[in-house]
Amino acid sequence: MADTDTLAATDSNFDDEVLKAELPVLVDFWAEWCGPCKSVGPLIDSLATEYQGRVKVMKLDVDNNPGVAGRFNVRSIPTIMVFKDGELKETAVGVRPRPLLERLLEPYV
């Protein structure tokens, strides 16, 4: 993740980085062992680059940050959530094509 515009969300920074963010935030809930998560990762990174300055894109490792995952009832990964003004606006579970993720973001950009 260091070479991309994607940021790491954690249990400790989630409220400040996501819920209090001025920009809409896309959060990718993932885990290292999750094959589908790895296939979605590059797509999430490309969205971070494309929407830079308009959307904050973050990844949250559910194994290392179970608090936030539990708080938002993440039961399956990958799960993509869009937050705006401190509220959860959209959720997509499973591998989703880029056009669907862009449609999730567009109303909030």
Report the catalytic residues: 34, 37
User: Which tokens sit at 61?
Assistant: 């490792």
Smallest CA-to-CA distance from 43 within 92, 108, 86, 107 is with: 92
- Cα 17 from Cα 101, distance rounded (Å): 20
User: Which tokens sit at 109?
Assistant: 């950009």
Q: What is the dihedral of CA 9, 80, 103, 87, to 10 degrees?
A: -60
Contact 23, 55 (CB under 8 A): yes
